[in-house]
Structure 1
C-alpha cells in the first residue's frame, strides 16, 4: 500500500488506468506511467470520481476529448482522451458511461444528430454480417482504408483503433458472434506492442482462430517475428501511410472474396 498511496495522492494528474488481472498501469497526463500491484476494482474505490468504461479501463472524466457511440449493436463504443489515447467502452456500460461523461464534453450532440446516429447504427447492425478490425497509428489512412473495404465489400464493416495493448482482453470479453472475422495489425510503428498483442491473441482459446494479418516493415527480422507469433499472413510494406491504402483492394480481393473466414451466423433472437 505504501507504493499505491503516493501514486494516487493527486488524481487530477492522472489520465487513466489500464488493468489486467491483479495489476494495473497508471497513466499520468504528462506521459509518465507506473505499474501498481493492485486490481482496477480496488483502485476504483480510491479514485471515486473516475469512470469505469470497460473492465480493463478506468478514466479521469476531465481528460475526455470525445465519445464515439457503438458503430453497431455488436461492437463496443470508444472514448478518446486529451492525449490521443482511445479506449473501448463496454456495450453493457455504454448508456451509463455516456450519461456521466456528457457534461465533460466540449460539444454536446444535438437531439437531431443523436437520432440520426441511432438510426444509422440500427441500419448498419441489420445489414452488416461481419466486421474487420484494423489496428494502426495512421488515423487518416484508416478512414480511407475503411471507405475502400466497405464500398467494394459492403457485407463487411471496418472498425479502426490506434492502440492494441488491450485488444486481447477486449475481444475475449465479447461473445463469439461479436468478434471480428478478420484483424489487420499495422506493426510498422509500435512494433513491440503489436507483436505482444498478436502473441496474446493467439494464446487465447476464444480468439486464436481469428485470422490476423500483420503489416510489417520490409526487413527479414520483422517478417520472421510475425510468423513466429503465429500471424496468419505477413504483409511487408515500406513505412509510408499511403502504402496501406494502396494494398486495401488486394487484401479485400483475397481475404474477403477468396478466403473462407470463420464468420459465425448470428441467431435472430440475439439481435433483439
Structure 2
C-alpha cells in the first residue's frame, strides 16, 4: 500500500510514521509534504497513491485548497487537532479522521475501515462524488466553527453599549423571565437573546446546555455532585445565590460527561 503524508508538524509526522510501521506491514510511505505548494507539486508529478494522510491546517493555509487544483481519487484519512465533537458527524466509510495525538488503536481502526471499503467498493465516479460531498460538508462545518460568537454588545443605561467577551462569561441563565450572562466576578448582564439562540451562536466545545434554564461554560464548573435518579448537580466556581440548582437530567448525564 503506497501512502502519501501531508503533515507540517515534525513530531506528528515522526509519530505517524512510527505507528504505521507497527500497524500496517504493507505500508510504503512514498512521499511526504508539509505545505499546500509541496503537496500539489508531489501529486502532480507522481502516480496517485493508495492512501493519503492529510493534516487539515497547514502553515500556508487549509489543506482543502489542494482540492481546488487537483482531483484526488484515492481514499483520504484526515489528521487534525480539531475536537471530535465538531467532526464526528462526518465519520463515514469513505473518509476517516484521526485526532492528534494519533495512537495505534485509532490507526488500526482506520485501516480496518479502509479494508471494508475496498471489499464494498463502489464505482470510481460514485466514490469521487461521495468524497467531494463530504469535503464540502466538512468545509461548511469548519467555517461555522470559525464564525461562532466571540463578543456580545450589552446595552447599558442611556445610549451606550459595552463589549462583553465570550471567554469571560461563565454561564447564561434565565432569571425572572430574563436571560442574563454572568462573568467570573459574578456581575450579570442582560441579554436580548434566548438560550436557544445563544446555544446556536456559541461554540459547543466551550458551552453546554445543561437544561432549559442554564447554558454553562466549562470554566464555570467547580465540581459535580451525584443527585437522585442518576442526575447530576453542577457546583459553580463563584458564590452565587441561585434560586434553582443547575441539574443535568439522567438522559443528558452521559452527553455531559463526554463533553466535559
State TM-score, norm by structure 2. Answer: 0.36
Based on CA coordinates, which of the two structures has the bigger radius of gyration? Answer: 2
State TM-score, norm by structure 1. Answer: 0.35
